[in-house]
Structure 1
Amino acid sequence: MFRIAPTPTPLSPELTERASRIEPATVGHVLNRGFALGIHPVTRANRFAGTALTVRLSAMDGTALHYAADEVQPGHVVVIEMGQDRDRASVGAMVSFALSLRGAAGIIIDGMATDIADLEAHGVPVFARGLSAVTTRLLGNDGDVNLPVSIAGAIVRPGDLVIADPNGVVFIDPSEFESMYQHLSDLQDMEPPAKEELRRGVRLSDKFGAADLVKRAVIHIDR
């Protein structure tokens, strides 16, 4: 059985442009959820942001992904759940080429990819657990398109904001990102002047408060 829900409208270019300024690691200073742990770029990847279009594959059946590829609009990030399958690649030369023609901003797979030379040539950033020569098949058995998926411990809903760079991937509700944006931007903006202070001799523990935290709870050990 295939469950197909409406395709989310891509988030506004203004929002995704702001999001592309923010590193996932900066979000990691604020949130402890929404991160796809263990997923890393298998192609060259600069930071990008986009709108989650979700796919769940079942067993070795890649049918739902081929269907979803035709639903992709510019700015969508195709987010693929593969259950416990850590062996088979769901994205290779033809799927990545089709997604590049549709304007996909990225591909996130909780599983494997293949055909690395083609993936690189097509230019859509691909994040996965690794590479495999074993692939899915078109079986017509089961799958979901645009329903919530589980990606490396993160629950991803269609329409979620995706931010990815070589350090990792984070999924955020767009309205939550909007409420956090100024704080995240401020966190990033403080790094260059903070480095200058350290260069001038300010101690790291004084700059960010670790010294005071230790003083409040220190127990000195005499040896």
Structure 2
Amino acid sequence: MFRIAPTPKVLPSELLDRAAKIEPATVGHLQNHGFPLGLRPVTKANRFVGTALTVRLSAMDGSALHYAADLVEPGHVVVVEMGHDRERACVGAMVCFALSLRGAAGVVIDGMATDIAELEDTGVPIFARGLSPVTTRLLGNDGDVNLPVNVAGAIVRPGDLVIADPNGVVFVHPSAFDEMYDHLFEFQDAEPQARIDLRSGVKLTDKFGAGELVRRSAIYLDQ
């Protein structure tokens, strides 16, 4: 059985423009969830922001992904749950080419990809566990489109904001991103000045406050 829910609208360009200024690692200073650990860029294109369009595949059946590809609008990020399948690739030359024609901002797979040369040619950034020559089939058995998915431990809902760079991927609810944005921007914007201060001799512990935190409860042992 296939379950198909409405396709999320692409997030506003103003929000995406702000998100493009933020690195996933910056979000990691304020949020502990939403990070699909173990996924990495398999293409040279490795940065994007976009709106999650979710797909769940069942066993070796890639039918739901082919269906979802026709729903993609410019700015969607196709996010694929493959269960425990660590062998089969669900995205290869033809699927990626179709997604590129639809304007996909990126693809995130809790599984494998294939046809790396053709993936590179499309320019679509692909994050996955790796590459494999073994592929899914079109069986018409089961799958979900635009329902919540579990991608490498991260729960992703259709319409979530997706931010990716070479360090990894993070999924953030748009309203949560709005609430965090000022802190995220301030945190990230402070780094250049922090480097200047450290070069001038300021200690790391004094710059960020760890020294005082440690001294409050430190026991200094004689050697």
TM-score class, shorter-chain normalisation, is over 0.9
In structure 2, what residue type is equivalent to 1:23?
A: E
Tell me the SS of whatever aligns to 2:144.
strand
Per the TM alignment, residue 111 of structure 1 is displaced from its structure 2 partner at its CA by 0.2
1:98 aligns with 2:98: yes
- Equivalent positions of 1:175-186 (< 5 A) are 175-186=175-186
Tell me the SS of whatever aligns to 2:141.
coil
1:126 aligns with 2:126: yes
- Equivalent positions of 1:10-21 (< 5 A) are 10-21=10-21
In structure 1, the residue matched to 2:39 is: 39
Distance 1:47 1:188 in 2: 17
Percent identity over the alignment is 74
Considering only aligned residues, what root-mean-square deviation do their CA atoms show, in Å? 0.6
1:56 aligns with 2:56: yes
- Equivalent positions of 1:50-199 (< 5 A) are 50-199=50-199
Would you identify which runs of 4 or more consecutive aligned residues in structure 1 move more than 3 Å? none
Distance 1:17 1:61 in 2: 36
Distance 1:147 1:202 in 2: 50
CA contact (8 A) 2:89 2:133 kept: yes
Deviates more, 1:194-203 or 1:37-46: 37-46
> TM-score if structure 2 supplies the norm length?
0.99
Unpaired segments of 5 or more residues in structure 2? none
CA contact (8 A) 2:41 2:127 kept: yes
Per the TM alignment, residue 46 of structure 1 is displaced from its structure 2 partner at its CA by 4.0
CA contact (8 A) 1:93 1:118 kept: yes
Per the TM alignment, residue 71 of structure 1 is displaced from its structure 2 partner at its CA by 0.1
Distance 1:49 1:155 in 2: 17
Tell me the SS of whatever aligns to 2:44.
coil
Partner deviation per Cα, 1:119-171 (whole Å, 9 max, x = no partner): 00000000000000000000000000000000011100000000000000000
Distance 1:53 1:176 in 2: 18
Tell me the SS of whatever aligns to 1:90.
strand
C-alpha spacing 1:208/1:45, structure 2 compared with 1 (3 Å): same
In structure 2, the residue matched to 1:208 is: 208
Unpaired segments of 5 or more residues in structure 1? none
C-alpha spacing 1:132/1:46, structure 2 compared with 1 (3 Å): closer
Per the TM alignment, residue 45 of structure 1 is displaced from its structure 2 partner at its CA by 2.7
> TM-score if structure 1 supplies the norm length?
0.99
Tell me the SS of whatever aligns to 1:51.
strand
Per the TM alignment, residue 44 of structure 1 is displaced from its structure 2 partner at its CA by 1.2
CA contact (8 A) 1:45 1:165 kept: no
Partner deviation per Cα, 1:63-107 (whole Å, 9 max, x = no partner): 000000000000000000000000000000000000000000000
CA contact (8 A) 2:62 2:136 kept: yes
In structure 1, the residue matched to 2:7 is: 7
Distance 2:4 2:104 in 1: 19
